[in-house]
Amino acid sequence: MRITEFSNPRMAQAFVDYMATRGIRLRVEHDNHYTVWLDDDSKVNLVENELNQFIREPNHPRYQAASWHSGTTNSGIHYQGSSLLANIRQRAGPLTLSVMVVCIAIFILMQLLGDGTVMSWLAWPEQDQHFQLWRWFTHAFLHFSLLHITFNLLWWWYLGGVIEKRLGSGKLFVILLISALLSGWMQAKFSGVLFGGLSGAVYALMGYAWLRGERDPESGIFLERGLMAFAVVWLIVGYMGWFGLSIANAAHVTGLLVGLAMAFVDTRHIRS
């Protein structure tokens, strides 16, 4: 019986070795991916339960130690060197990557032409620009420093990639669209139109991933509670104005609420 497939040989090895410590033999076949097979289908329920847990916590020490405990080295998995770009593509889907490319391209353009010029094309609409519909969303692609774009894109890749891989590009697109629109609208109410960044969408992904993981662990989508706590602390830092940081607090809070609301709607059948 085919159990699952991995694109990362190390993950396949860790899962196979861990199941060996549970007395269950799995084998791996390598084509374009590493496909895991179970010969004894009477153990399928146990294997699937363990797989769901593994997907949630692939870096847990119990998996890292499994190869030592299993005492085997003949898994048949051959490791190949991989580049940074290959590792990025492995986790991210086409929408995740496309948004990253667009943000980087616009950031380079801002360095060449100046922030003001690019913002005059893409920033949140002023009173006479409301029919330029792209502006309701393209403000999310504007970033004003290397730290700003690096922080946002790392989180976008880390969370958006998993959501796209698990739930599809459509779900990620809806989260991006709604969070960009509502967080931008709220931020404009508080600070005017001179703002930008993907952080409203990033906070929506944080809220979505955390609550989805709490209410629907089987989805394989989650955000560790410690990282969620970090996100909340960062909100407090922004509101208190510590360290002299200029942070779009309204966009962050709105994005977080959007993500939580969408996760609640998507999991309402789980708790009913």
Q: Indicate which residues carry an active-site annotation.
A: 199, 252
Longest dimension (CA), the chain: 70
DSSP state of 80: -
Could you give the CA distance from residue 211 to residue 257 in angstroms, rounded to a whole number? 11
- Contact between 206 and 231 (Cβ < 8 Å): yes
DSSP state of 28: E
The secondary structure element, H or E, covering residue 101 is: helix 94-113
- Contact between 222 and 212 (Cβ < 8 Å): yes
For 139, residues 6+ apart whose C-beta sits below 8 A from its C-beta are 122, 123, 124, 180, 184, 195, 196, 197
- Contact between 103 and 198 (Cβ < 8 Å): yes
| Closest C-alpha to 257, from 211, 218, 226, 198 | 211
